[in-house]
Structure 1
Amino acid sequence: MKPFTIFGLIALFAACAVQAKDTWADSQKFAEKQTTEFLTKYPSVQSDSFVFKTIKLPNGNSLALDLRIERPKEKKLCPVVFFVHGGGWGAGSKGAFCPQSFELAKHGIAGVRIEYRLKGQGGKFTNVIKDVLDAIDFIRHRKDELVLDFTRVGLAGGSAGGHLSSIAAQLTPECISYDGYNGLFDAFQRDGSRFGGGNYTGTTEAQKKNASAIYIIKDKPPHTLLYHGTADTTIVPKQAHRFAQAIRDKGGQADVLIYEGAGHSFFNKEPYLSVTTKALLAHTSFVFGMTDHKPNLQDYNVEPTEALTKPKKKKERK
């Protein structure tokens, strides 16, 4: 596998991190703007949009949910990874994961960025996970048209999208690879995480466990790589360690990349964006059989940033 860098996209992705969240229309404009800008950076990649379902909102209006798929312009059979955005289940859009999706497509792996209904649109776990699975099913039924190898499927997501994608990975028979960024993997026992309370995942123990990947791991779990920061209190790193161990207990393979001093959603910004995208590409390429080089986790470490490690200077009294 050839080495790559995405440092030239730092400024571009900085805009992704400050995406407009005022309205659904704003987020759609943002996502399309990101796609257009990334297309200029990746001339060998094409991006197509598909409406995969239309839903009824609580106010009676209809809402079209769409997705973006990035693929190599060269028509050759390629595996596919589905990305599920974060945003606390109440914000965000398919504008997230632009760098990751385009970088995978550049190296022969299609990337699909999914939309799903948000809390303000009547979103609860039960109907939102159906949105995610319906998007996967939409692509599944068009795999020949899109020249996709659906025996090699991956899921990935961050934060709230880490929660949803981890469950979808267990419910998707073809999924053999999973990459989860600071996700909530146990909505019943959150280990002190600030995120994930309330009734979004249900009100009973059974409902919350059914909305937690850690309790529904399939017999042949996807090869899993989890990413988490030690300073994350929104979703604590213990969630990643427990989920990885549960996968191993089921006979699967799972590793955790821990970043010292990194907080929540650290992977959206440098120096973590480049290195975690490299890890994603290395991991999926290995699992999909595109290389026989198993990733060495130490290659994807990041030294704590100066801002996190340097003691603050005390103000001098005049």
Structure 2
Amino acid sequence: MSQSPFPDDDVDPEIRAWLTQMFAASAALGAGPDTPLHERRAIAEEQRKPWCTGGPAMHSSEELYIGDPAVRVRIHRPVEAETLPVLIYMHGGGWTLFSIDTHDRLMREYAARAGVAVLGVDYRLAPEHRFPAPLNDVAGVLDWLRAEGASHGLDPSRYAIGGDSAGANLSLASAIRRRDAGLPMPRALLLNYGAFDRSAHPSYDRYGDGDRYMLTGPEMDAFWETYLGEGPSDDPLLEPLGADLQGLCPAWLCVAQCDILLDENEEMASRLQAAGNPVACRIYEGATHSFLEAAEISGLAVQAIDDASTWLASQLRGAAAT
């Protein structure tokens, strides 16, 4: 493992090695501040290929196009079973980047460790499809699960919603939306270093150095602007930190210490708990934004995935739908 180039580095050494490789790959692929979005997307997919392969083998995997408009989904089943509980997972990427391909290993890790099916959602991306289009895509998938999931071996009464960064935002907003509509709620929320609020918190200054950490304040601001466009900015489904959080399901928050989103994730955990929801919040020291993608070389990432999977399995345990 290479030595950190930074004195008094507060990033876990294995995560630092992963960041070093990620930054080098980005530079080698030609990424820069003026790179057009379509090229940035292609670079991001290529950059993450070494990290989304390997890992657990699945009993079966399938891709479907569901909803209207049709959205690509991928279903991983870790074991042979007539019916499995399911985690609906939304990838991160600031609502503008990444896919179910970049997050394939992470989804398989959850499937194998929690013993559940994982359904990854390739929701439409901004700016072509701004808020609330990605949220509508998730709603369409959840409607499909309720109507058709059983025919695909998925138990619609035992499901969780989860995601990382922008995907965590979509997960929590989807749960709020279902509560407000009186629809069946998920049993659990899996929220990994979520983007819940557009305000710049003190952790933006502490962990916003783009040479040392994964995500910067200007990058996050650009993601928010791209996702919102010219639409209304006061919708609680856009920034769920300010939403009514009562009457939701138990939530697990995986929080990275060395992340500009640290403060809003801690605040979200406090607000969810104050609203009466069961909350488990774990802050992983030395972790950066996106660190769960480093499972190939990071014991800390593996531990965080395992912690969440143990919790998730306990939440989805119980009687199947009849």
What is the match of residue 227 of structure 1? 254
Q: Quote how far apart the aligned CAs of 1:33 are.
A: 10
Alpha-carbon displacement from aligned partner over 1:244-272 (angstroms, at most 9, x marks no partner): 11111111111221122322212211233
Question: Could you list the runs of 5+ residues in structure 1 that have no partner in the other structure?
Answer: 1-10, 56-63, 291-318
The answer to whether structure 1 residue 177 and structure 2 residue 177 are counterparts is no
- Counterpart of 2:7? none
Match of 1:130 in 2: 136
**Higher RCO (C-alpha under 8 Å, 6+ residues apart):** 2
Who is 2:163 aligned against? 157
Q: Which letter does structure 2 place at the counterpart of 1:71?
A: R
1:135 is displaced (CA, Å) by 2.0
* 2:61 matches 1:47: yes
Q: What's the TM-score once normalised by structure 1's chain length?
A: 0.70
Match of 1:61 in 2: none
For residue 142 of structure 1, report the CA deviation from its aligned partner. 1.2
Which is helix-richer, 1 or 2? 2
1:247 and 2:275 equivalent?
no
Shift of 1:218: 5.0
Q: Over residues 209-249 of structure 1, what are the superposed CA-to-partner deviations in whole Å (9 max), with x where a residue is unaligned?
A: 3312233355432211111222212x2x1111111111111
Which AA in structure 1 matches 2:125? L
Q: What code does the residue aligned with 2:281 have?
A: V
Question: Quick check: 67-76 or 210-219, which moved more?
Answer: 210-219
Note if contact 2:150-2:156 (Cα within 8 Å) is conserved in structure 1: no
Once the two structures are superposed, residues 70-115 of structure 1 have per-residue CA deviations (whole angstroms, 9 ceiling, x without a partner) of 1245233221101111112111000243234323433531101111
Instruction: State the AA in 2 paired with 1:289.
Output: R
1:6 aligns with none
Counterpart position of 1:260: 285
Question: 1:131-185, CA deviations, whole angstroms, 9 ceiling, x for partnerless residues?
Answer: 1221222232212202222222111111122222221233343212111111111
Q: Partners in 1 of 2:266 and 2:84 — Cα distance? A: 31
**CA distance 1:258–1:27, shift in 2 (3 Å):** closer
1:65–1:116 CA contact under 8 A, matched in 2:
yes
Distance 1:24 1:184 in 2: 20
Which residue pairs with 1:68 in the alignment?
A: 74
Change in 2 beyond 3 A, CA 1:223/1:184: same
Task: Check the 8 A contact 1:101/1:110 in 2, yes or no.
Answer: no
Cα RMSD between the aligned structures? 3.5
Match of 2:116 in 1: 109
Aligned equivalent of 1:309? none
Q: State the SS of the aligned residue for 1:70.
A: strand
